[in-house]
Amino acid sequence: MGSFKRGIETEYVGAAKNAGIEKMPATGYVVLPFDRPNGQESLCVAAGSRVKKGELLVRGDLLHEPVFSSVSGSVVSVGEVMTLRGKAQAVTVENDFKEEWHPSVQPFSKPLLRAAPEEIREFLKNKGIENLDGEGLSLERKLSLAAGKAKEVIVNCLECEPYLHGVHSLLIHEAAAVAGGARILAAALGVKRISFVMDLKRRDEAVSLRNQLKGKNLSARFRFLSAKYPQQEERQMILAVKHREIPLSVAPERLGIASFGVHTVYAVYQAFVTGMPQVERVVTVEGDCVLQPSNLRVPLGAPLSELISRCGGFSTSPGRVLIGGPFSGKEEKNLQIPVTGEIKAILAFAEKETETAASCVRCGRCALVCPQRLTPTSLARLYRKNKIGGRDRRFLSDCRECGCCSAVCPVKIPLLKRIRAGKEAFSEKKYESEREKRNGNPT
């Protein structure tokens, strides 16, 4: 048992914490965003094109995963839409409900034991499996960096933020797929050891995984950590398990540490066994305003409103809707934005977060819990005073937006909200400065 310093102790709460995973029917249309500097050149379709489920819509590149259609039907538009991260280009597909799979959706052609690591990596490279667990890098990038360096595969089974149940549901109800995905990743890196990092309070989840890996010619280890948020974050998990602090500027894979979250491992298994690219993910819909809290397997691109409707709608008008967890989630009023790979949960609460007029009482609690050893009140103050200069960029970028500071503030100052606003303001300021220079008007 172990942990890392700082952070906050958490408990598993929520009405759907023991629920299974329900497959949500496909919606009438899906909106599939893509972020490319040369977006139009990467497109494989145009308005009016007929597409099938699993068909390539947007080619990938070194920094971006390819995008596939999560339904069969017709492309109705290619243009700008609103997403969780703001405006983005997207392909909108109208569903014909025929569920026709594209011929390219084929499972891996060899038994796992006969495949070379390079073959497995190349197969997974073309499946569009992006960052589903917040590890920072895409699956393709993680595998390419870790190849030849990693000695084991680490499966991060931690889920420390309240109301998030996706990882727990997959470990309980899809243990065979999770264990199988871990084996595939081990084969892709040519290693024989898998370490599962799990919560001490959820030892029962380890039993199923251990049984699935018996007789598979692999060494499986289970490491149990005490429940503390944000221990599920990759670098905090590595610090707790390996007692090694990795700078934000260094990818853990470059140091031979290959860790993958449960959602990603599950997607790897699905791609390998069925050939299905990343076209869906598990999303938890929770909160005291949700009539039937659930864990849903949903097609990427479905509007958030459809997930709420599938759970019976709201029992009362919510004071706030969060995309993500109660600590790190972003408040969102537009429920028509599409589900993307980064969206783990939709939480609806009756209580509304109010902007407090209270001043900092200098108790120091936010600094004591910050995993990055920052002083959140100072970062928030920079934004409030509009004094975000170039030298402050490093401190802002070091913030991982876990929200521990806001959670422990005794006077309820929305520190995370202000820090995020500071980051956005700095990015906008930098963009305007660069645009001025390009136009020959340096400021």
- Average model confidence (pLDDT) across the chain: 89
* pLDDT tens per residue across span 325-334: 999 999 999 9
Does residue 310 lie within any of the structural domains? no
Quickly tell me which residue has 């938890």 as its tokens.
284
Residue 30, strand partner residues: 93
393 shares a domain with 267: no
Contact 284, 167 (CB under 8 A): no
Kindly tell me if the per-residue pLDDT of 443 is higher than 50. Answer: no
Domain end point (choices 223, 258, 274): 274
385 shares a domain with 262: no
pLDDT at 357: 63
* pLDDT tens per residue across span 157-205: 999 999 999 999 999 999 999 999 999 999 999 999 999 999 988 888 8
* pLDDT tens per residue across span 62-111: 778 899 999 999 999 999 999 998 889 999 999 999 999 999 999 999 99
Pick from 277, 236, 229, 241: nearest CA to 153: 241
**Higher pLDDT residue, 443 or 249?**
249
In whole angstroms, what is the distance from residue 162 CA to residue 335 CA?
22
* pLDDT tens per residue across span 120-161: 999 999 899 987 776 567 898 899 999 999 999 999 999 999
Task: List CB contacts of 49: < 8 A, sequence separation 6 or more.
Answer: 74, 75
380 shares a domain with 269: no
Does residue 57 lie within any of the structural domains? no
Contact 128, 67 (CB under 8 A): yes
Distances (CA, A) of 440 to 13, 426, 431, 432, 443: 56, 21, 14, 12, 10
270 shares a domain with 389: no
**Residues 294-319: what's their mean pLDDT?**
97
Number of domains within the chain: 2
Q: Establish how many alpha carbons lie within 13 A of residue 69's alpha carbon, considering only the half-sphere containing its beta carbon.
A: 33
Does residue 128 lie within any of the structural domains? yes
In whole angstroms, what is the distance from residue 42 CA to residue 59 CA?
5
Does residue 427 lie within any of the structural domains? yes
pLDDT at 62: 72
422 — pLDDT class (breaks 50, 70, 90): confident
- Write b or e for each residue in 162-184: b if 16 or more Cβ atoms lie within 10 A of its Cβ, otherwise e: bbbbbbbbbbbbbbebbbbbbbb
| CATH code of the domain containing 222 | 3.40.50.11540
125 shares a domain with 250: yes
In whole angstroms, what is the distance from residue 132 CA to residue 383 CA?
30
Kindly tell me if the per-residue pLDDT of 390 is higher than 90. Answer: no
Instruction: Give the pTM.
Output: 0.91
404 — pLDDT class (breaks 50, 70, 90): very high
Domain end point (choices 240, 274, 308): 274
pLDDT at 39: 60
Kindly tell me if the per-residue pLDDT of 431 is higher than 60. Answer: no
Q: Name the residue type at position 111.
A: P
Does residue 27 lie within any of the structural domains? no
Does residue 33 lie within any of the structural domains? no
Task: List CB contacts of 237: < 8 A, sequence separation 6 or more.
Answer: 154, 156, 158, 197, 225, 231, 259
244 shares a domain with 111: yes
Residue 284, strand partner residues: 295, 345
In whole angstroms, what is the distance from residue 120 CA to residue 146 CA?
14
Q: How do the residues of the chain divide into helix, strand and coil, expressed in percent and rounded to 5?
A: 35, 20, 45
pLDDT at 190: 96
- Cα of 178 vs its chain's centroid, Å: 17
Quickly tell me which residue has 């221990």 as its tokens.
231
254 shares a domain with 154: yes
257 shares a domain with 122: yes
- Write b or e for each residue in 34-70: b if 16 or more Cβ atoms lie within 10 A of its Cβ, otherwise e: bebeeeeebbebeeebebbbbbbbbebeeebbbbbbb
438 — pLDDT class (breaks 50, 70, 90): very low
In whole angstroms, what is the distance from residue 92 CA to residue 40 CA?
14
pLDDT at 428: 59
250 shares a domain with 397: no
| Residue 207 exposed, middle or buried by CB count within 10 Å (0-12, 13-18, 19+) | exposed
Does residue 89 lie within any of the structural domains? no
Residues of the domain holding 406: 365-438
Does residue 314 lie within any of the structural domains? no
In whole angstroms, what is the distance from residue 255 CA to residue 168 CA?
29
- The counts of H helices and E strands in the chain are 14, 18
Of 366-375, 412-421, 432-441, the one with minimum mean pLDDT is: 432-441
**Local structure of residue 100 (DSSP, 8 states):** P
Quickly tell me which residue has 């997207």 as its tokens.
90
In whole angstroms, what is the distance from residue 223 CA to residue 206 CA?
10
Domain end point (choices 259, 274, 289): 274
Kindly tell me if the per-residue pLDDT of 41 is higher than 80. Answer: no
